[in-house]
Amino acid sequence: MNHATPNLATPNLTTPGLATLERWLTGPRFAGLPARGTGHPAPALSFEFFPPRTEALETQLWSCIRRLEPLRPRFVSVTYGAGGSTQARTHATVARMVGETSLVPAAHLTCVGATREEVDDVARGYWAAGVRHIVALRGDAAPGTTYAPHPGGYAYAADLVAGLRRVADFEISVAAYPETHPAAASAEDDLDSLKRKLDAGATRAITQYFFDSGVFLRFLDRCLAAGITAPVVPGIMPVSNFAQAARFSAMCGTTVPDWLGHLFEGLDNDPETRRMVGAFQAAELVRLLQANGIDEFHFYTLNRPDLTYAIAHILGVRAAA
Ligand X SMILES: Cc1cc2nc3c(=O)[nH]c(=O)nc-3n(C[C@H](O)[C@H](O)[C@H](O)COP(=O)(O)OP(=O)(O)OC[C@H]3O[C@@H](n4cnc5c(N)ncnc54)[C@H](O)[C@@H]3O)c2cc1C
Q: Is residue 69 close enough to count as binding ligand X by CB under 6 A?
A: no
Binding test (CB under 6 A) with ligand X, winner from 69, 120, 190, 212? 190
Interaction pattern, residues 130-169, with ligand X; x per rule: CB under 6 A: -----x-xxxx---------------xxx-----------
Neighbouring CB atoms inside 10 A of 44's CB total: 16
**Spatial distance between the Cα atoms of 188 and 48, rounded to a whole number of angstroms:** 28
Kindly state the smallest distance separating residue 10's Cβ from ligand X, in Å.
Answer: 37
Residues of span 97-126 touching ligand X by CB under 6 A: 108, 110
DSSP code string of 152-205: TS--SHHHHHHHHHHH---EEEEEE-TT--TT-S-HHHHHHHHHHHHHTT--EE
Q: Is residue 206 close enough to count as binding ligand X by CB under 6 A?
A: yes
Q: Is residue 308 close enough to count as binding ligand X by CB under 6 A?
A: no
Kindly state the smallest distance separating residue 229's Cβ from ligand X, in Å.
Answer: 18
Residue of 48, 100, 171, 265 marked catalytic: 48
Kindly state the smallest distance separating residue 255's Cβ from ligand X, in Å.
Answer: 15
Ordered alpha helix ranges (H), the chain: 20-26, 55-68, 87-100, 116-128, 157-167, 187-199, 213-225, 242-252, 258-264, 271-291, 306-314
User: HEC string of 213-241?
Assistant: HHHHHHHHHHHHHCCCCCCEEEEECCCCC
Kindly state the smallest distance separating residue 223's Cβ from ligand X, in Å.
Answer: 14
**Would residue 73 be called left, alpha or beta, if left means φ above 0 and alpha means ψ between -120 and 50 degrees?**
beta
C-alpha torsion angle, residues 291, 294, 296, 297 (rounded to 10): -70
Kindly state the smallest distance separating residue 235's Cβ from ligand X, in Å.
Answer: 5
Binding test (CB under 6 A) with ligand X, winner from 46, 79, 301, 308? 79
Number of shown-chain residues binding ligand X (CB under 6 A)? 24
Fill in the DSSP letter of residue 84.
Answer: G
Q: Is residue 184 close enough to count as binding ligand X by CB under 6 A?
A: yes
Residues of span 31-60 touching ligand X by CB under 6 A: none
Residues facing 172 on adjacent strands:
134
Q: Which is nearer to ligand X, 183 or 226 (CB)?
A: 183
Query: Among 68-76, 178-186, 216-224, 311-319, which window interacts with ligand X (CB under 6 A)?
Result: 178-186
Hey, is 51 helix, strand or coil?
coil
Kindly state the smallest distance separating residue 203's Cβ from ligand X, in Å.
Answer: 14
Distances from the Cα of 285 to the Cα of 140, 216, 236, 244, angstroms: 28, 10, 9, 20
Q: Is residue 198 close enough to count as binding ligand X by CB under 6 A?
A: no
Q: For 30, list phi and psi in degrees, rounded to 5.
A: -85, 145
Q: Is 58 a catalytic residue?
A: no
Residues facing 233 on adjacent strands:
206
Kindly state the smallest distance separating residue 142's Cβ from ligand X, in Å.
Answer: 11
Q: Is residue 183 close enough to count as binding ligand X by CB under 6 A?
A: yes
Query: Among 125-133, 185-193, 223-231, 308-316, which window interacts with ligand X (CB under 6 A)?
Result: 185-193
Binding test (CB under 6 A) with ligand X, winner from 87, 93, 208, 308? 208
Q: Which residues are catalytic?
A: 48
Q: Which residues bind ligand X (CB under 6 A)?
A: 79-80, 82, 108, 110, 135, 137-140, 156-158, 175, 181, 183-184, 189-190, 193, 197, 206, 208, 235
